[in-house]
Structure 1
């Protein structure tokens, strides 16, 4: 079985800091390679992999802004499609654009839908629904107009995270600084709880950061900037809890699974995939607003951090993801 994994080219695969789709393409590729599958990763030229790497783009367009994103995407996707006959199956992690080639090539295409940037893109998925295979990353993120082969949760490389039974007393916000992610809500939860808050992530909305985050920064509310893999591990494993007060229907929530793998419970707004990731009262708390989150902070000490870790390892490991995808590959082929 020869598999091609198509990663996005906004960032390196795996990403240096931010880049969840690239991270999942990397985790899958490495997991397939470890399982003895012949796999080729299509990604940026500076990507790191144990498998074969094919690329026509040196660096991602978010890391070199002198590039035109549409041009880069066109060159990258067509590079794989022109070599499609080398493979038995193409696993697309690059959204809807590659689907436009799927009726012109021999091997089947499996597309992991990591989310919908707009309702407008659904018509493309609809057009190619009949002769393509779609996978959702949570049951909550399924679109009613599409047919799905299955749901496969994102898988994390457990070796990149360390379990910690005895956490520090700070709360952590880890994610994009953006209204959707609820950075401001996390700040207010921390202030009302009288707890220290560390904020780590890229600033995706500059106005939001200036108006809703920066005025509250102090010795107790600290913005760390974006965090690479090593710092991410340290921040997650030492936090008493991860605050995840999202304001949108989040498809998965990678930082939630990563925190749980470290043994760190999560307090999240009950939206999107959160009920699938968090066991209320056992691995964290599902709440509706800031006030309920503040109350949940007082209950964090009662959460068994080892239980968080074991559940995350069973449900969100790279090995579990690879096993689930291999089952779908065999079903397709």
Structure 2
């Protein structure tokens, strides 16, 4: 099937125009509770059906729609399964496909049907017709390429309620970036009841930051995810909805939903918020203090004015009309560059059909015809090789399976899926050395920005490490086997294969962990679990400490009742030292390396330090996800990992993604004014950590100790000092404890460690000065 093009909608009756909507495969359409994307897909689909269009909807079984439902057949979320299913079953004569999937998997496949892709998140997908949800999202996420359409709702689903009850509402996913803590801060400062409604997206965050606040204040209530009438009732009866997001919100559907019910929205000015609240800029708050003040004043727009505003901008009919304009333009255009030719599409569809029918030999023939299509671009030829290799595995032709996997290298960079397939085939032949070579190659491949037409997350993460564990154990290299299995567990802690290997290795390997008791300068001790071998662990074992003079200095500066913030805490020596010598100082430890953070938590638990909290995130001047270069499994010095910037990346590192936070947004309001000491060791990310904490620094005036990872230091170090107005700066040696002014000679073996002290705080200079001139 190849549809006709060059027919804009203008002259055709709606009933003759077939539009296909493709929903994600996480929730039903519409959702029973949380699920903004699915709610938008439902309203758009219903509005198109009401206009008489011939609409098909791909969605999970159990979805409700007036369109023709094509239910997915796979059982767990998998964008590649969505693509394969759509390719097999796309209705004949489709004029336009509208892709709502997170990865824009249909748009990336470049089917021979015009495809629009709505980008419902903060990711940039390299598709031909991207549609964002706000002008801000188009500019910020899309770089200005594409267009935008505001989300819309069905006003009939949101009854206006003029009489309100005296509670505030947070409605949404409970994760750090949604600003739940800021909502709690604002409600408590205003003395108001707050209802939190929505699914918990980060259980550790909830237990660490939210649950204690709920237990301490009976006016805070978490009611879980809500749907249907319960949800709209919460919207309608609330005095105000709090939306203190720190995300680059692409839209924020709950704002429109609340206003439709006549409920005002108090929000932080991030992402699309200024656009959605353009009619009521007085509701935008710079921080939780301003939000609390506006709550206390209680001067809100009239409920009818709020609803009329939504009716003029954010209805599903308005949304549908805008999309119809885009559909008409797309239908009149030829498919974009790289789209399937008629011949290639025919062979691809034939392959999918035969494979589904279990006719693997015939499907392999069709797949090879697809591979030989002269117009097929390299990315789809790689896909054809992967598909052919899979079919060869099904029919038991391992030699041809290997040839097909290797042939994929002719058309592009190696894919981890195919590299792991080669390794697996060699394992079946018990060629452990060659298999290990290929699995090791898989661990070194950079994860692609564009996942392409097939993607197996396990091949890019834990799987090659588990297989390397097997290969090295069969070769008698048990230490290497342990390193790779530990790497797999650091990526997937609950993986059954890695856990099985871990139990087996524990039975055959001598103990590699030691618990030691270490002294502090207050006459006390603390315990640490050390994993051997390792640079820091071996040093601690031999010297009974790691930078103990620096740790002593940190402890001396820590003020009773205050916070010590340890950014780049590693396995926790400095924080444990401070926590043991100053038990009334709370220690906040930030460590993004998963394995180090786990060891840090073990060390905290060994000492039962109740005022020590572990935050497994990076710290910088932004919030979201960042690339993190992590030392490979078994590295001698795991502390060299870093947030990717302009540092040199070698083969000793492997990229991953971690959460990153800015302290000014992440810390609770009362904590931001109570930091007495801040230690920063982030392998080149020190300035960003400071820039993201400038409000905290100006409020608390802490002593700041950091290691500058640039030698010799450049103008950038001077620029960092300029950020810290009202500070004095000193050079320090972390092992000897020597402190010298900037204009003095460097301490021997100086390693670019600096101490920044608020002016006057170091008046008793000789108390800290170790050397004599």
Aligned ranges 1:8-27 → 2 under 5 Å: 8-27=24-43
Answer yes or no: is 1:186 the counterpart of 2:183: yes
Q: Give the alignment's TM-score, normalised by structure 1.
A: 0.88
- 5+ residue gaps, structure 1, are 59-66
Name the SS for the 1:326 alignment partner.
helix
Residues 171-199 of structure 1 show CA distances to partners (whole Å, capped at 9, x for unaligned) of 10011111111111101100000011011
Q: Greater CA radius of gyration, 1 or 2?
A: 2
| 1:81 Cα deviation after fit | 2.4
Answer yes or no: is 1:2 the counterpart of 2:8: no
Answer yes or no: is 1:225 the counterpart of 2:233: no
Answer yes or no: is 1:293 the counterpart of 2:309: no
Answer yes or no: is 1:133 the counterpart of 2:141: no
Q: Hey, what does 1:89 align to over in structure 2?
A: 96
Name the SS for the 1:184 alignment partner.
helix
Aligned ranges 1:117-132 → 2 under 5 Å: 117=123, 122=124, 125-126=125-126, 128=127, 132=128
Name the SS for the 2:205 alignment partner.
helix
Q: Hey, what does 2:163 align to over in structure 1?
A: 166
Q: Hey, what does 2:106 align to over in structure 1?
A: 98
Contact 2:153/2:314 (8 A) holds in 1: yes
Answer yes or no: is 1:247 the counterpart of 2:263: no
Contact 2:122/2:248 (8 A) holds in 1: no
Answer yes or no: is 1:109 the counterpart of 2:115: yes
Q: Hey, what does 1:63 align to over in structure 2?
A: none
The higher relative CO (CA closer than 8 Å, separation ≥ 6) is in 1
Answer yes or no: is 1:237 the counterpart of 2:236: yes
Question: Could you say what the CA RMSD is over the residues aligned between the two structures, in angstroms?
Answer: 1.7
| 1:284 Cα deviation after fit | 5.5
| 1:279 Cα deviation after fit | 3.4
Contact 2:245/2:270 (8 A) holds in 1: yes
| 1:68 Cα deviation after fit | 4.2
CA distance in 2 between partners of 1:135 and 1:254 (Å): 16
Deviates more, 1:232-241 or 1:216-225: 216-225
| Alignment size in residue pairs | 309
- 5+ residue gaps, structure 2, are 1-16, 332-773
| 1:79 Cα deviation after fit | 1.9
CA distance in 2 between partners of 1:27 and 1:302 (Å): 29
| 1:327 Cα deviation after fit | 1.3
Call closer, same or farther: CA 1:81–1:15 in 2, change over 3 Å: same
CA distance in 1 between partners of 2:234 and 2:244 (Å): 18
Residues 298-327 of structure 1 show CA distances to partners (whole Å, capped at 9, x for unaligned) of 343342111111001221111111111111
CA distance in 1 between partners of 2:260 and 2:282 (Å): 13
CA distance in 1 between partners of 2:283 and 2:114 (Å): 41
Answer yes or no: is 1:271 the counterpart of 2:279: no
> Structure 1 stretches (4+) deviating beyond 6 angstroms?
none
Contact 2:107/2:116 (8 A) holds in 1: no
Q: Hey, what does 2:258 align to over in structure 1?
A: 259
| 1:283 Cα deviation after fit | 7.1
Q: Hey, what does 1:317 align to over in structure 2?
A: 315
Q: Hey, what does 2:61 align to over in structure 1?
A: 45
Deviates more, 1:215-224 or 1:282-291: 282-291
Contact 1:267/1:287 (8 A) holds in 2: yes
Residues 106-129 of structure 1 show CA distances to partners (whole Å, capped at 9, x for unaligned) of 210011111234xxxx3xx33x4x
Q: Hey, what does 2:326 align to over in structure 1?
A: 328
| 1:144 Cα deviation after fit | 4.8
Residues 249-277 of structure 1 show CA distances to partners (whole Å, capped at 9, x for unaligned) of 11110111100110100100011000001
| 1:146 Cα deviation after fit | 5.6
Q: Give the alignment's TM-score, normalised by structure 2.
A: 0.39
CA distance in 2 between partners of 1:273 and 1:197 (Å): 24
Contact 1:113/1:135 (8 A) holds in 2: yes
Q: Hey, what does 2:86 align to over in structure 1?
A: 80
